[in-house]
Amino acid sequence: MPGVLTHCPYCSLQCGMTVTPRPESAGGGHDVEGADFPTNRGGLCEKGLSSTELLGHPDRLTTPLVRDSRDEPFREATWDEALDRVAAGLTAAQQRYGRDAAGLFGGGGLTNEKAYQAGKFVRVALRSAAIDYNGRFCMSSAANAGIRAFGIDRGMPFPLADIARADTVLLVGSNPADTMPPAMRWFAAGRERGAQHIVVDPRYTATAVAADVHLQPVPGTDLALANGLLHLAVKHRLVDAAYVRDRTTGWDAVRRAVRQYWPDRVERITGVPVKVMERTVRMLAASRATMILSARGAEQHAKGSDTALAWINLALALGLPGRPYSGWATVTGQGNGQGGREHGQKADQLPGYRMLADPAAREHVAGVWGLDPDELPQPGVSAYEMLDRLGTDGGVRALMVMASNVVVSAPNAAHVRRRLRDLDFLVVSDLFLSETAELADVVLPCAQWAEEEGTMTNVEGRVIRRRQAAQAPEGVRSDLAVLADVAARLGRGEFFSDDPRTVFDELRRASSGGKADYTGISYERIEAERGVFWPCPDDAHAGTPRLFRERFATPDGRARFHVVHHRAAAEEPDDEYPYRLTTGRTRAHYQSGTQTRRTKALLDAEPESVVEIHPDLAARLGLADGADLQLRTRRGSARMRARLTTTIRSDTVFAPFHWGGEQTANALTNPALDPASRMPEFKVCAVALEAVPGTTTTGEEPAA
């Protein structure tokens, strides 16, 4: 059989790949190879190359599971029994506690069709306000900043290939060499033509190794660093005065505000030497083909929105956004992190990036759905706030979870686990029995990436087609079908379809006139044009690969400067918890590890979680490489192996968040929320370290 061109199930690059079934005589299964798609040009990382192993995995769920009480084990059930239980559990909660007692927690890996249907299901079938998704833990601060500064949130307002044409690129809290390796071809192409790259990261990452300059700030001080660089740009007359005058507003207030970020003060806050800051700002201003790329390292903080705005301020002062091969962008992480937040999974949004509280938006979307606008609920609470209130008075009592493993991925994870146990009813749709699914009353086996049709919106804002390349196992259903079937049991079935194309065509109508306008994007156009960039308001429109060339998406067409100030992390080290913990991804694993920890090649490469610790700190604690280490914060503890490395600051340790059980890094992290985006502070908290008795140490007493 011929291969099918589709897309990788992992990160936001959505690399093109060809999936080809192997004959049964050759053992069955599927072969995969990279396709010549614009984002990856034939390249795949190890996650993409091993992705088809999941299609025939022995742990795959293929029949619904139910339990008759929380104290009993799961048993297999028919789909009718399982869906009847789902409908009954949701209905019972609403009858007892009100409509908002039933809700849904979604994920940034859902196709556009499923993300759209999830938002519609909660607001139309459940008539509830209770929906949010794990993208709130990923992109929300950058999205908030983009909307406030530019009037629109499209993480990357230019194609990925433009990186190769930039003369200078600054990456802030981004490590694409490990998190999205195929993207590094564009950075390498830039270096080949003489481009210079700067990396801001507390770790000397694989991306930093290839850069010309590495700035290694104290975690949580990126905002002060950005303001310090802007101070220097003003001091050295590097600001593009004509651009600021013609294309922005609010500059004078920001110029005055950054006076207090003089170089010596910023060095004391960040640990970055003044001479390195001086070199950095001159490199950024040396050409107009300059990019500033931000990511989770800078944004997953209780001040993440302000931090993103600080870097946008610097980009605007240098005259970058809208110029060729220049600008500010944020690098989306999850596969459909962009599309997943555009069409209704966020508690405050409707399709097309409309806001739920806006009467005009409510009227438009309600008209597409065939409802009175007054039937739509008002905005609900954000992701962590929803999880924090599960099972409590006024909180969700019956929850559906799709494409998310919150027991591993949410901050303060032990608390979230307890809250899930407090629910009256929990249903989880997943490929495998994840740590979250293990707590459920009903588990639904869902189809995965290569087994169904749908669209995704990648890191560039390019809408692509994920084509079916394999048959789902017998007994497995699409989440689209599940939502339609449950809606029918709730008496609202006439509003829902289980056909992806039908749902996408409705999404196009619902998005029409919105900021994320998909009206002119059809399956046929995506096929013919290898993806279409939104906004695309009609069939004759070419799509929009590059934003901001002539105006910004604000009422007056100008970008907005914002005064933002550094503030300390929500939790600073003290005598009891004397070090800083930061978390992130590794090369071999992805998100909560539900898929990658079941892939042999990836698990062989990284079989367990390790905490990176500087040799100087290890010596003070009497730790040897490979020691079994206990990490403690005010929220919980985790146990990991110590890996000694000089690539981390000596006052900071790094732990990946891909593992569950006693290796759950997010059992440690701080749920302090950004006041604007409601992003938790994943990237920094105070931690104590101690060797587990009886494990490998140096044999020396810790230094006093």
Residues of the chain with pLDDT under 70: 1, 695-704
Q: Are residues 159 and 251 in the same domain?
A: yes
Q: Shortest CA distance to 230 belongs to which of 189, 196, 260? A: 260
pLDDT at 704: 45
Contacts of 138 (CB under 8 A, 6+ apart): 108, 296, 300, 332, 333, 334, 337
Would you say residue 511 lies in a domain?
A: no
Residue 333 is predicted with a pLDDT of 82
Domain end among 312, 330, 348: 330
In a domain, 540, yes or no: no
Residues 401 and 316 in one domain: no
Q: Looking at residue 695, what is its pLDDT?
A: 64
CATH of the domain at 484: 3.40.50.740
Domain CATH number, residue 643: 2.40.40.20
Residue 473 falls within a domain, yes or no? yes
Whether residue 281 is found in the same domain as residue 303: yes
For residues 126 and 149, state if they share a domain: no
Nearest to residue 683, comparing CAs of 220, 226, 293? 220
My answer on whether 194 and 314 are in the same domain is yes
pLDDT tens-digit profile of 565-621?
999 999 999 999 999 999 999 999 999 999 999 999 999 999 999 999 999 999 999
Give the CA angle between residues 154, 160, 162 to the nearest 5°.
Answer: 110
Instruction: Tally the domains of the chain.
Output: 4
Q: At what angle do helices 274-285 and 263-270 cross, to 10 degrees?
A: 110
Helices 479-489 and 112-120 pack at an angle, to 10 degrees, of: 20
Residue 289 in any domain: the answer is: yes
The H-or-E segment that residue 113 falls in is: helix 112-120
Which of 302, 330, 358 is at the close of a domain?
A: 330
Please check whether residues 181 and 320 belong to one and the same domain: yes
User: Of all helices (H) and strands (E), which one includes residue 116?
Assistant: helix 112-120
CB distance 225 to 270 below 8 Å:
yes
Between CA 292 and CA 272 the distance in angstroms is 18
Question: Model pTM?
Answer: 0.96
The whole-number pLDDT of residue 696 equals 57
Residue 574 lies in a domain: no
Angle between helices 304-317 and 140-150 (to 10 degrees): 40
**Could you tell me if residue 242 is inside a domain?**
yes
Cα–Cα distance, 676 to 303 (Å, whole number)? 9
Domain carrying residue 18: 4-54
- Position 532 in a domain: no
84 found inside a domain: yes
Strand order in the sheet with 532-533: 454-457, 462-466, 532-533
CB proximity list for 687: less than 8 A, separation 6 or greater: 577, 579, 580, 581, 631, 632, 633, 653, 668
Residues 385 and 484 in one domain: yes
Supply the CATH number for residue 305's domain.
Answer: 3.40.228.10
Q: Do both 96 and 181 map to the same domain?
A: no
Q: Rounded distance, CA 196 to CA 52, Å?
A: 37
